[in-house]
Structure 1
């Protein structure tokens, strides 16, 4: 079987695509998989490192304002459609799969024009522009949040969830404590702002550390992100903050699965992949949506968890260390609340998302 997969720009589109690719390798004998991306996106580095061949087309995103740049984008998109048609005709895929991002638009449009079988996967509660535009013409839509259904009326839609790495699910609590050398008798808070970190969250932590110092039942893992790590340590020193041994500051965690395994509460951004991972493990959260995410999709994601009782939400401009401390204290001191949040998170999780998507693919191919 031959498959073309496309989706890019950011990890939020690329990593689900790679998870689907891994699922295809497990399900089919020696499938041929070709990735289509752009040279400007993260996929240029990530996809070859994952062991998949990649070809590049021209594509760029639309500006949200009326501008001359949008005319250039339209012309570039049309050129990208032409490039995609050439690639698809040569490769002859049995199915073309898109996971969003502006590169997916030209590829999926080319596949539709050529009459190829098509599937798109939407990661966020509020669908991206590319997926909304092409959704009317594809064979099937896989969504990660039940709330997304209303944006794709009248189509064949399946709530699959977001595919995640198996290590996220299989790492045990004991392994996490051992690998991170943490105290298993303390409540563990994991704070991180996504792969790049979050400046506002790091700033709030400077005041939040006091809460940990005063409450010996807690231990904290704070991942600053590589960009802000040295500056954050410098600011701690300048402020004269003496850190307890129960506070660990890391620039990056390569084995985030260890931290997930021991975390009693997560404080962080509301990217689709992060939420898929924490709900698969049933971890309660305080979410601070990235305020500049395209079409404010992170707040849509966060509010979905909040409505179901799995998370609390603080908007970025309202974030302070004191507000965080107050919320953490309330979550742990209110009888049964942390347990109810954990149960709500687990109900939202889709640990079998990859298998659900592969089942849809088999259904499409068997038509």
Structure 2
């Protein structure tokens, strides 16, 4: 592979696909590398096709995850993986890239193998406390593995690991986030923010709607982000209850919140930590290898959040626990302080510096 000209920018391929949990950290790091020529590698019909093209050139390849059981479907996926490795290898050579950053998921496998076959440095970021299968399988191939949680290191080869936290969206990094101008919430009322997540929101939504009348009667206001797949979204009506499928200014919403009720995806937990928001966490029970429960356990151990398994939680219990917290301002403040202590505010800068170190050291 030819070396870049002395005055030309270094070229970095970012392989990140599928969900905000994979995409937002990668975008945050890319924003810290304005002098690099960055291109993006994703999968057709995934979220990156909406978020990335306005900022970076997007290339896509067809790749999917391995099934649990071996069979004809596995052989087809293996064939596509081999073909994808070839496609990424061709892209890296043709584009004269100097390194690869990936945030895990299906796209990481072919990207890591292709890059290493060409002698290029690869930095893999793993946001979860329990690394995913792709990270566990392919981390030995990587130049470095950047960790969102320190505890993830116990599952991976020690020589490659660097703890950097998880980068967050730029809105969470702003010195002063925009106020909630489109939500007429008084400044002196307790605000409960409910975030069901993109998967499995319906079960949490139902419990929240059953519990909400008691919270409203206690003087709380509620912003309930229901997702777009709940047929009962409008079943509760109250002037202090806002049911929205999504909300753009999440940084402002979490900053204003007295308490959040949330799933335990790594991205959501990182955002709660940055804003110092106390929370009740309900890990998504069908997450791969129950990884959300491992994430939530970190917050529970730090006394930053109360954690309940969905199978053990009823609307009556949720109602009571929220009322207890609303009546305990000192406990909420203690949880907020503990939550903020888990944040790595400069995670994007740290990960960008690691990318620079490994890519530039290779091409000095």
Aligned to 1:220: 222
Check conservation: 1:7, 1:98, Cα contact below 8 A.
yes
Residue 41 of structure 1 and its aligned partner are, at CA, apart by 2.8
Distance across 1 between alignment mates of 2:43 and 2:293 = 27
Aligned to 1:2: 11
Q: Pick from 325, 332, 336 the counterpart of residue 326 of structure 2.
A: 332
Aligned to 2:7: none
Check conservation: 2:30, 2:352, Cα contact below 8 A.
no
Distance across 2 between alignment mates of 1:362 and 1:232 = 46
Distance across 1 between alignment mates of 2:253 and 2:84 = 41
Check conservation: 1:136, 1:155, Cα contact below 8 A.
no
Residue 255 of structure 1 and its aligned partner are, at CA, apart by 1.8
1:65 equivalent in alignment to 2:73:
no
Aligned to 2:20: 11
User: What SS does the aligned partner of 1:253 have?
Assistant: coil
Distance across 2 between alignment mates of 1:266 and 1:172 = 20
Aligned to 1:255: 249
Check conservation: 1:8, 1:43, Cα contact below 8 A.
yes
- The verdict on how the C-alpha distance between 1:177 and 1:97 changes in structure 2, with shifts beyond 3 A counting, is closer
Aligned to 1:163: 167
Aligned to 1:78: 82
Deviation sequence 1:108-167 (CA, Å, 0-9, x none): 110011100110101111111111111112111111011111112322322111111232
Q: Normalising to structure 2: TM-score of the pair?
A: 0.91
Distance across 2 between alignment mates of 1:251 and 1:40 = 21
Matches within 5 A, 1:34-53: 34-48=39-53, 50-53=54-57
1:191 equivalent in alignment to 2:194:
yes
Deviation sequence 1:311-355 (CA, Å, 0-9, x none): 111212233221112111232334632122111111111121100
Check conservation: 2:150, 2:163, Cα contact below 8 A.
yes
User: What SS does the aligned partner of 2:222 have?
Assistant: strand
Matches within 5 A, 1:14-33: 14-25=23-34, 28=35, 31-33=36-38
Aligned to 1:239: none
Q: Pick from 196, 200, 207 the counterpart of residue 204 of structure 1.
A: 207
Deviation sequence 1:268-326 (CA, Å, 0-9, x none): 11111111111011111111111111121111111111111111112122332211121
Distance across 2 between alignment mates of 1:36 and 1:56 = 6
Distance across 1 between alignment mates of 2:70 and 2:306 = 36
Residue 196 of structure 1 and its aligned partner are, at CA, apart by 5.8
- The verdict on how the C-alpha distance between 1:77 and 1:296 changes in structure 2, with shifts beyond 3 A counting, is same
Query: Could you say which structure has the higher helix fraction?
Result: 1
- The verdict on how the C-alpha distance between 1:22 and 1:54 changes in structure 2, with shifts beyond 3 A counting, is same
Q: How many residues align?
A: 352
Matches within 5 A, 1:299-338: 299-334=293-328, 336-338=330-332
1:348 equivalent in alignment to 2:342:
yes
- The verdict on how the C-alpha distance between 1:58 and 1:226 changes in structure 2, with shifts beyond 3 A counting, is closer
Aligned to 2:264: 270
User: What SS does the aligned partner of 1:249 have?
Assistant: strand
Residue 172 of structure 1 and its aligned partner are, at CA, apart by 4.6
Distance across 1 between alignment mates of 2:299 and 2:68 = 27
- The verdict on how the C-alpha distance between 1:326 and 1:171 changes in structure 2, with shifts beyond 3 A counting, is farther
Distance across 2 between alignment mates of 1:88 and 1:16 = 22
Distance across 1 between alignment mates of 2:179 and 2:200 = 22
Distance across 2 between alignment mates of 1:149 and 1:79 = 31
Distance across 2 between alignment mates of 1:144 and 1:271 = 12
Distance across 1 between alignment mates of 2:140 and 2:200 = 36
Check conservation: 1:212, 1:247, Cα contact below 8 A.
no
Distance across 2 between alignment mates of 1:292 and 1:338 = 29
